[in-house]
Amino acid sequence: MIIIEGILTIWAWNVGWRAKSLLPMSIEFVIGVLIGMMITLFEWNFDKVMSNVSFISFITIGILIFMIVKKNKSSEDDNHEV
């Protein structure tokens, strides 16, 4: 999944989203760290939690695909050649 997300992030960057294309993976990483801390802190069953939380990667991929399809209009105005 991380390879697919990385490729989609690079693609969204090239489409014109620039640094905004890094946000979905960054947020996913923070959520993953927080979930890992909660699993350790509250001694939850890892398998049950991960089976319920695995959809976060699919949400990230969906957001990146949306960003690729909906090109960033503001970056096109900034890319005037001199």
Per-residue pLDDT reduced to its tens digit, 13-72: 999 999 999 999 999 999 999 998 999 999 888 888 887 788 999 999 999 999 999 988
Close Cβ partners of 56 (under 8 Å, ≥ 6 residues apart) = 28, 31, 32
**Which pLDDT value is given to residue 53?**
83
Is the confidence at residue 78, as pLDDT, over 70?
Answer: no
13 near 70, Cβ under 8 Å?
no
